Amino acid sequence: MASILNSHLYAKSENLATEGAVNVTIPRFGPAGNILWTLRADEVIPSEESTYKVRGPTLKMRTNENTLTQARSERGTFDMSRGKAWGEKALEVEGNGYFAAGKNWEWREETSEGFHEITFDSDAFVHFKSDLDPILSTDEKKSQKAEKKNPVLEETNATAEIIEFLSLEEGGYRFLLDGNVSVQGETLEIKCVRMEILVEHDTNKSVAKLGRISKVIATGRVRMKQPGRICFSDNLTLDTVSGFGVLKGNARVEDEEWGVVKGDKVELDRETGKARVIGNEKARATLNLPNMEKIRLPGVRKPKSKNK
């Protein structure tokens, strides 16, 4: 790869004050001869050892499942031999089912957990091209979906102080969001301190090839809100594929229709539409129903008025 790069490095540019390679394309091949990534740049200037200053880089990355991720920035520094890059200017990344951006970024070709790890340390956000549905859907939400013959693609937006994501070896992506995490869908909002989001690769070719959010793990002062319901806990796990969710640690669900439930753990089931409350030695399970005065108990008659 160094020889490919060096063959371009001393092409004199009439429009630039320095000597460097302009309009460069640099491929990186794997052991089997497959292309791992391709770097295209307006200008590449040698810096130190295998490090190069790059203006207008566009990095196209491929994974084992042959999905393509593309990252663009105004400028950055690339360490070719170590498969690393970093920069202060905004980096925009577009992949299968998401769009992410942020500043103070760093890219690694390979880590122990996957490929093409990218970290943003400021002004970071992720835009998912799939909706994060509530586990316990409201009747209004269900009826809206039933009425849509050609449903419009719904979306989810996420922001945090730090966002890190990478392509997993088995396919799909893993996103780690840290600090003031906020995730907003069409009918669901989650706020917490830290969150992990797994996006799987959708192999169903009858719809657009978009990754869908398959799992969410939130920790630290978790607050999940949807119309008519607010949930609180220390930890939250949502399996959007199976339709199962768990609130754990100081769990509380406040519902406008059926009241408030508290416990160490609350299990949410989309199929049955029910919440199961589990307590422990320190926190017993409790249920507070609204409008208790309107509930008629068997054998209890309403006293007659003396005026009648």
Instruction: Domain ranges for the chain, please list them.
Output: 2-294
Greater model confidence, 125 or 281: 125
Contact present, 134 and 244 (Cβ < 8 Å): no
Model confidence pLDDT, tens digit, residues 227-236: 888 999 999 9
User: Cα–Cα distance between 215 and 248 in angstroms, integer?
Assistant: 16
pLDDT for 9 equals 43
User: Cα–Cα distance between 306 and 141 in angstroms, integer?
Assistant: 48
The CATH fold of domain 2-294: lipopolysaccharide transport protein A fold (2.60.450)
Record the tokens describing residue 176, joined without a space: 């780690």
Angle of CA points 184, 190, 191, to nearest 5°: 110
Average pLDDT over residues 131-160: 60
Average pLDDT over residues 85-93: 97
Q: Where are the alpha helices (DSSP H) in 62-169?
A: 139-147
pLDDT for 274 equals 74
Is the pTM above the cut of 0.85?
no
Strand partners for 260: 254, 288
Of 92, 96, 95, nearest to 105 by C-alpha is 92
Q: Could you give the percent of the chain with pLDDT greater than 70?
A: 72
Of 238, 241, 245, 283, nearest to 266 by C-alpha is 245
pLDDT for 136 equals 61
Is 111 a residue whose pLDDT tops 50? yes
Strands (E), 12-113: 21-29, 35-46, 51-55, 58-62, 68-73, 75-79, 84-87, 91-95, 98-110
CA distances 168 to 59, 115, 306, Å, are: 18, 6, 75
pLDDT for 269 equals 82
Burial of 140 (0-12, 13-18, 19+ CB in 10 A): exposed
pLDDT for 43 equals 94
Is 106 a residue whose pLDDT tops 50? yes
Contact present, 214 and 241 (Cβ < 8 Å): yes
Model confidence pLDDT, tens digit, residues 148-205: 444 444 689 999 999 999 988 777 899 999 999 999 988 889 999 999 999 886 555 4
Question: Please, what is the average pLDDT of the chain?
Answer: 79
User: Cα–Cα distance between 266 and 260 in angstroms, integer?
Assistant: 12
User: Cα–Cα distance between 190 and 224 in angstroms, integer?
Assistant: 4
CA dihedral of residues 43, 49, 51, 52 (deg, nearest 10)? -10
Greater model confidence, 212 or 143: 212
**Greatest mean pLDDT among 42-51, 77-86, 263-272:** 77-86
pLDDT for 65 equals 58
pLDDT for 13 equals 38
